[in-house]
Chains A and B, each alone.
Chain A
Amino acid sequence: MSELRKGQCDSVIAVVGQPNVGKSTLFNVLTGRRERVGNFPGTTVAMSIGRRRYGDKTMCFVDLPGIYDLKAVSLDEKIARDYIVFGDWDAILILVDLTGGLEGLYLALQVLQLTDRAVVALTKWDEVTKRRIRVDLDGLSRILGVPVVPISALRGEGIEDLLKALESVVETSSRKAAKGIHIDYGSLENTLNSIVKEVTNSFKSDRIDPRGLVALIARGNIDIAEKIGLSHIARVLEDTAKSMNIDVGEHIAESIYRFIRGTFTSLIAIEPLERFEKKGFAYKVFGNPYTGFVATVATLFSAIFIAFAVNTGFPFTTILEALGRSDLAEALESYTISGLISQAFDYLKNWVQSSLGSAHPVLASLLANGIIEGVGVVSSFIPLIMITMMIMSAIEDSGLGPLMAISMHSLFAKFGLSGRAIYPLFISLGCNVPGVMASRAALDDAERFEIIAAASFIPCQARLIVMLALVGFLFPGNPALQALVVIGVYFGGAVLYLLTAKIFRRGVLRVSTPPELILELPSLHKPSLKVVWWDSWSLTKHFIVRAGTVLVLLVAVVWALTSFGPEGFVEDPSQSWASNIGRLIGYAIKPLYGLSEDSSWKIGFALLTGFIAKENLLATIAVMTGAEEYQSALQALGLTVAQGIAILVLFMYYVPCLATVSMIYAESKSIRFTLLVVAYIVAVALLASLLVYGTAILLQH
């Protein structure tokens, strides 16, 4: 932690609050941007801080995870708890959202028991006043023993007062030992007091009030007692529990809530629960299991549709092509965002080739096809990720996200997922790369890893184009059968997505209980443009930095494989190492589908280039067969219908593309998990494709 001191922080302020409290909004307004400063001690969880100049000092704000309770069950709770107890901070900024009810004070009181070097910020103050919630600010501050500042981060109101309050706490606090707020624990008092003496002797910290620390330990944080060398406290608490026949931890929690009800109801005017009703059209529609299902699917589908139309012109380009107007399709595509980006990079590539190509062919090829290509691929994903993440954060910020999740939950729970797994599924329809990233919507880590593993089974847009070409070739003049196969592939992808989640939950993550939904439903409101921008930009940055670097590297490796062969540098990829690998893949699949020698290695090579990007599947076959267009290229392979369908299934599911693999790695942060997922997907796809092949042959007879 002391690195923070060296790193030009005059004061360190830990920011803590419950989920939905508006912490990230405040962070953005307060500090502008967050930077990573290593990990929280003993974990791999990134610790990020934001800086703010105030007067001639720099305040550093440490972003603690959003938690409901200081009792540490999850990693997030443990991180926040340990940082508050053991961290090297000067003040704690506690965020409380009174629009979320008095319960919001529960976390605040747990922290204030530990220390009075704190400031309480009441967030979303504009909303509080709009709802005519009357709050006695002076009374609140008197009882809590710390400054209380109402703020409205989005409007920038109260920020100056907040900084001033923090500054004064930092200035004065070092002069005396911290004193926590006193909550009466009734029959537990004797036991607690006896432990307080011991803690005072063995835990020296002028930031933390020993009594508060004892209450925290008794709440169910025995590991803290162990950490400060007082592991026998566990026995003392157990004995008390036995002799009094109570659960000590629950007694503590109940006492805190009783304190809240007893003390604050007179200071904060609230409406009686009996009169409370949840109103609103959106709420009615999404709350109902049937209309909720339909509305969720419709909302997400149209959102993804818009994102892709803007970005790639899809599906209008495909429709135009089907109508025989490929000229119009091309023109449209060249004016979409990804079209413009690819033109820019093509121009750059050509420029390098033409100015360097004759003098240094290898260098020119490395620059053009190894490096510029890689950067181009990363860049082409940026607008797509940005737009999909904007849609996702708009849905989340409006409060609609949790409602959508509950409408899908019953179905998804059967497969070890919560209703929130609907986002990644839908986003993956467009592109698996942001789909994997959308695993962040998951309720817990187990679900998140399930989604990361499962997302690539959803056929993305690039695969749809391959699929359309293949079904057109396999079933010419039979649009009904074509449509049936397409629907079948999507349905199969959704089934594989759900089954994979279940398999990984049970087999890999070893969780046997179904996911239970405990989800706060924030009130619905118009999403804030600022928040949407901040969220999506920070996720996009994450993609560029984490997945982008891996991707550029992988593209360079692929360049080396396709540009060098047994005879050194080659212009023709069919003489390269890559084509040898393709041949190997070809040999491997040849006996499985009874393919001919010639077509097996072409398909093998296509599978390899398709791994780089799925749209290469067809392009490669076209290049290999020397055909002008896809239909005749496929013709040249001489596939039977059964082989064709089997290859189609293989093409659809066989492996996540390079960019998706990079993303799987970036999100899981584990090479082992990434390799496991890729191996699993290859195995499942092969199995599914062989199954389809067998069935097709049986049906033919």
Chain B
Amino acid sequence: MYLADLPPNAVATVVDIVAGPGLKARLIGMGFVNGAKIKVIDNSSGHVIVALDSGFGRVVALSRGVANKIIVEVSQQS
């Protein structure tokens, strides 16, 4: 399943990133790494807004093209 397909409030774990080395490095640098837990905050238009692992902090907006390159596994939906 791709990150782009997750509904708002879904919590998932990053499994793989299928992207070129440059984009991949940028995503890893921000915390999108295998095993990282993420929560979808918003997924309504051209972009997906995601909160990362540590919960209270980093929120990242990804354009749909990027969100379609991140493979995730859903752990819980609310």
Asked if B61 and A516 sit within 8 Å, CB to CB, the answer is no
A268 to B51, CA, bound (A): 18
Asked if A103 and B63 sit within 8 Å, CB to CB, the answer is no
Which one, A103, A106, A274, contacts B11 given CB within 8 A?
Answer: A274
Asked if A274 and B76 sit within 8 Å, CB to CB, the answer is yes
Closest chain-A Cβ to B69's Cβ sits at a distance in Å of 9
Asked if A73 and B53 sit within 8 Å, CB to CB, the answer is no
Which one, A67, A71, A101, contacts B56 given CB within 8 A?
Answer: A101
A330 to B24, CA, bound (A): 58
- Interface flags for B46-59 (1: CB within 8 Å of A; 0: not) read 11010111111111
A101 to B56, CA, bound (A): 6
Closest chain-B Cβ to A228's Cβ sits at a distance in Å of 22
Which segment, of A249-257, A295-303, A547-555, faces chain B?
A: A249-257
Interface bin, chain B: 35 or more
A-contacting residues, B41-78, CB 8 Å: 41-42, 44-47, 49, 51-63, 65-66, 76, 78
Q: Cβ of A357 < 8 Å from any Cβ of B?
A: no
Q: Cβ of B18 < 8 Å from any Cβ of A?
A: no
B-contacting residues, A109-163, CB 8 Å: 131, 133
- Interface flags for B10-44 (1: CB within 8 Å of A; 0: not) read 01000000000111111111110111111101101
Which one, A271, A287, A289, contacts B55 given CB within 8 A?
Answer: A271
A222 to B63, CA, bound (A): 30
Asked if A220 and B30 sit within 8 Å, CB to CB, the answer is no
A520 to B52, CA, bound (A): 11
Which one, B23, B36, B56, B65, contacts A276 given CB within 8 A?
Answer: B56
Asked if B28 and A69 sit within 8 Å, CB to CB, the answer is yes
- CB neighbours (8 Å) of A270 from chain B are 54-57
Interface bin, chain A: 35 or more
- Interface flags for A501-526 (1: CB within 8 Å of B; 0: not) read 00000000000001011111101000
Q: Cβ of A484 < 8 Å from any Cβ of B?
A: no
- Interface flags for A61-93 (1: CB within 8 Å of B; 0: not) read 000000111010100000000000000000000
Asked if A521 and B76 sit within 8 Å, CB to CB, the answer is no
- CB neighbours (8 Å) of B11 from chain A are 273-274
Closest chain-A Cβ to B1's Cβ sits at a distance in Å of 18
- CB neighbours (8 Å) of B35 from chain A are 254, 257-258
Given A103-B53, A257-B33, A521-B60 contact (CB < 8 Å): yes
Asked if B25 and A520 sit within 8 Å, CB to CB, the answer is no
- CB neighbours (8 Å) of B37 from chain A are 273
**Beyond A250-B24, A273-B53, A518-B62, 5 additional pairs, beta carbon < 8 A:** A101-B57, A103-B53, A106-B29, A289-B45, A517-B47
CB pairs A–B below 8 angstroms (28 shown):
A69-B29, A100-B57, A101-B55, A102-B53, A103-B52, A103-B54, A106-B29, A220-B21, A250-B33, A250-B34, A253-B28, A253-B33, A273-B39, A274-B78, A275-B55, A276-B51, A278-B41, A406-B47, A409-B47, A409-B63, A410-B45, A413-B46, A516-B62, A518-B62, A518-B63, A520-B60, A521-B60, A523-B59
Question: What are the 7 A-B residue pairs with the smallest beta carbon separation, nearest first?
Answer: A101-B57, A69-B29, A68-B29, A410-B46, A101-B54, A289-B45, A103-B31
Residues of B within 8 A of A (CB): 11, 21-31, 33-39, 41-42, 44-47, 49, 51-63, 65-66, 76, 78
